[in-house]
Amino acid sequence: MRAVHLAGPALLVIALWQAVVVALDMPPFILPGPARVAQALWTSRVLIAENAVVTIIEVLAGLVLGAVLGAGSAIGLAASERARRLLRPILVFSQAVPVFALAPILTLWFGYGLASKIAMALLIIYFPVTSAFFDALMRTPSGWLDLARVMGAGRRQVMWRVRVPAALPGFVSGLKLAAVYAPIGAIIGEWVGASKGLGYLMLLANGRAKIDLMFAALLVLAVFTLLLHAGVDRATEALLRRRTR
């Protein structure tokens, strides 16, 4: 059903794209038409698939690590006032440094392989997940907390039986946002230094004036991002339904 809903907007974008190419008489080396990009996507399908697999691995690994570390950090901050005083200002200050500016440093530290790209994706994902989950943990209804204490629940039981389940919608919001941001981190890392990946392929195609191949790689990246967001959306909906039951 969702695929049907997306078909209309996709066709509209393609029609507008073709209209711009025809109306402005755009040369192919500036803006190739949809048919030319589709042809490049087919003729270079093996090359694109090889590089797409690398980017997908980077994004999924960064998403999983960022979600786990972000959730753990949020729970730790919510559980300890001392941790909030010491670590939360550091987390906020870390966002003053543009994450993209760290890509060359991460490449220097971790090399040109997967590790630096995963680390870049993790950094972009970590703060939204941590911030959204932490804010939700701190907004647990006071009536729920009072009832848990009256029933004799300890701090650990209050955290895992009351606060974490109540804060799951906040964690879900952060995770959905992270699913959109994760590919950005991987692509930026590949632009700084890589030998594989869709970002690397886009730079390679641009340098060789194969703009249709560059657009084909960009299209594959966009489709993967949409599928990733839809997958995370469906998984989190199932998680929330289970919490409700």
Give 66-94 pLDDT, tens digit per residue: 899 988 988 888 888 888 888 877 777 76
Q: What is the mean pLDDT of residues 99-112?
A: 81
Q: Specify which of 22-26, 108-112, 218-222 reaches the highest per-range mean pLDDT.
A: 218-222
Is the Cβ–Cβ distance between 165 and 57 less than 8 Å?
A: no
Please report which confidence band the pLDDT of residue 161 belongs to, taking 50, 70 and 90 as the band edges. Answer: confident
Q: Where are the alpha helices (DSSP H) in 158-210?
A: 164-192, 198-207
pTM over 0.85: no
Q: What would be the CATH architecture of the domain defined by 35-244?
A: Orthogonal Bundle (1.10)
Q: How far apart are CA 231 and CA 234, in angstroms?
A: 5
* Residue 244 pLDDT: 61
* Residue 217 pLDDT: 92
Phi and psi at 44, nearest 5°, equal -110, 25
Phi and psi at 193, nearest 5°, equal -175, 115
Least confident of 92-101, 125-134, 177-186, 190-199: 92-101
Domain ranges of the chain: 35-244
Q: What is the mean pLDDT of residues 143-147?
A: 71
Please report which confidence band the pLDDT of residue 237 belongs to, taking 50, 70 and 90 as the band edges. Answer: confident
Q: Is 3 a residue whose pLDDT tops 70?
A: no
Q: How far apart are CA 192 and CA 106, in angstroms?
A: 10
Is the Cβ–Cβ distance between 228 and 176 less than 8 Å?
A: no
Average pLDDT, the chain: 82
* Residue 68 pLDDT: 92
